[in-house]
Amino acid sequence: MNVRLDKLVSERFQLSRRAAREAVERGQVDVAGARRVDPAEEVGPDADVSFHPNRPRLDTTIRRLTVLYEDRDILIVDKPPGLLVQPTPLRERDTLLERAGRYQIHKRGVKKPYVGIVHRIDQLTSGVILLVTNPRALRPFQDLFRTHTIERDYLAVVEGVFITPDGSIDLPLVDDAGDGRRGVSRDPDQGVPATTHFRVLESYGTAASLVAVRLETGRTHQIRIHLAALEHPVVGDPVYGRRGRPAFPVAFRRQALHAASLGFIHPLSGRPIRVEAPVPPDFSGLLDELKHEYGAFKIGEAG
């Protein structure tokens, strides 16, 4: 019969139950050579468990989950840049999926948490993402995203200055545009339909612009591909922004793309929901540096 991990650690290493639980939460306990952080995880009574009391504590500030909205069916969270939504074949342990599971265990008291993913944002993109925490909500929210009956707004800092203050990009996307990368097709009969709406908020000399973007469709890398197709790649984009272009004058370690808000009618409760995520410090720091170096012109201001 399986037992709780903290109970087994307590018995094996002569710790109090509280000390055993804290050791697991600090990341000082391994099972079969892999770190475990859930004291309630059930393991076999003969499991290969090791205790490392001198191991540095896990950085809980890095691994926390910033919840913007929650109910019995969903979590809407603010994903920091650099965090994967779910593991790759390399089986990374610290992902949004894992953090959401731990949140339910520790904050909601759920023994076996459920996390359903209905949309994704890139690892290097920050901002709002919705997770399903009740199996009954998975299909309704999948339908919401599939039918595009949800408002998804982004902020992007892009290279250069737009000729027009707003517009739409209606170009189909293909998996290989001829250079091994995803891209746009100028042939409407090729690729999958994709539409992106944009509005320029501010410009910084001739170097860059801050753009509000709304997705009508939600294809992989859609915003980055569409803006690059207009010769306005997202600043710091490692895939679509650099080939053949001079280095951007202000260094930025990731793509300057932030999922700013989600708005929808909750398919189960019928309530209107709108959630916003503030821009992270690195994004606001980029804007401050651009303003300092080039000044800022808000679109709509008199010349």
pLDDT digits (tens, 9 = 90+) for 171-183: 999 988 777 788 8
Q: Say which CATH topology domain 67-143 has.
A: Pseudouridine synthase (3.30.2350)
Rounded distance, CA 111 to CA 77, Å?
Answer: 21
How do strand 126-132 and strand 257-265 relate by DSSP bridges? Answer: parallel
State mean pLDDT over 20-43. Answer: 82
Superfamily of domain 3-51: RNA-binding S4 domain (3.10.290.10)
Rounded distance, CA 19 to CA 11, Å?
Answer: 11
Sole residue written with tokens 């919401």: 144
Rounded distance, CA 106 to CA 64, Å?
Answer: 12
- Distance, first Cα to last Cα, the chain: 76
pLDDT digits 0-9 by tens, 219-244: 989 999 999 999 999 999 988 876 67
Please say if the pLDDT value at position 91 is more than 70.
Answer: yes
Rounded distance, CA 232 to CA 137, Å?
Answer: 38
Q: Say which CATH topology domain 150-298 has.
A: Pseudouridine synthase (3.30.2350)
Range(s) for CATH 3.30.2350.10 in the chain?
Answer: 67-143, 150-298
Catalytic residues: 122
The answer to whether 6 and 51 have CB atoms below 8 angstroms apart is: no
Mean confidence (pLDDT) of the chain: 89
User: What is the model's pLDDT at position 59?
Assistant: 53
Range(s) for CATH 3.10.290.10 in the chain?
Answer: 3-51
pLDDT digits 0-9 by tens, 192-217: 999 999 999 999 999 999 999 999 99
Rounded distance, CA 43 to CA 46, Å?
Answer: 8
Residue 61 has a CB neighbour count (10 Å cut-off) of 6
